[in-house]
Amino acid sequence: MDVKIAESWKSRLTTEFEQPYFADLVSFIKAERQQYTIYPPGSLYFNAFDKCSFDDVKVVMIGQDPYHGAGQANGLCFSVNDGVPTPPSLKNIFKEIASDLNQPIPPSGNLERWAEQGVLMLNAILTVRASEAASHRGKGWERFTDAVIQLIAEEKSGVVFMLWGKYAQDKGRIVDRSKHCVLTAGHPSPLSATRFFGCRHFSQANAYLVNQGQTPIVW
């Protein structure tokens, strides 16, 4: 199956794209698009991969599924398009960065600047119906993104995994802690942010990257 994804990923994920489950997923998405508005736009389903090549991955963030409001989702977890109000979870991420690194909160919630520095901003589910959170759960995306995490965990070393909340932590169980840096905390959602604030993951991630001889992320 010819999937339009960055070549550095395509060459490594071809076996996934050839699996029956992925063909079923593609058929499901096509049918959904005929009946509903789907986010993000089709050209951005694999934006996380297009903006961050396999070779450049230094940090992996794991979200659940895209924002389901008009104009919000841009294919990167937690990120929104320029001009879109910053969602609550992202506001809390920015607050933690401000506290951790003593820097101002940015005016835009578009996180492409992180992706371009080597942060893979991966949602477990890459599509969603408008106004229906988790509406594409259990259709095959989770199996695909598990394969992505396993690929990174096995073929790379010295990657920082930021796992916020039980969902992300369960997705990251396959990561070898002796080979990578795994940082865990509560989800930055207002419902659990008290277990997120003070985690200092951003300074910890940069310290680890520097120790690995890599350039730190400008958060």
Catalytic machinery residues:
65
Question: Do 175 and 122 touch, CB atoms closer than 8 A?
Answer: no
Question: Which of 101, 121, 103 has the alpha carbon at shortest distance from 111?
Answer: 121
Q: How many residues does the chain have?
A: 219
SS3 67: coil
3-state SS of 39-58? ECCHHHCCHHHHHCCHHHCC
In terms of DSSP bridges, do strands 119-123 and 181-185 run parallel, antiparallel, or are they unpaired?
unpaired
Token code pair at residue 92: 């809390």
Question: Do 124 and 141 touch, CB atoms closer than 8 A?
Answer: yes
User: Measured between alpha carbons, how far is 94 from 1 in angstroms, rounded to an integer?
Assistant: 39
The full DSSP string for 82-151 is TTSPPPHHHHHHHHHHHHHH--PPPS----HHHHTTTEEEEESS--EETTBTTTTTTSSHHHHHHHHHHH
Token code pair at residue 82: 């320029």
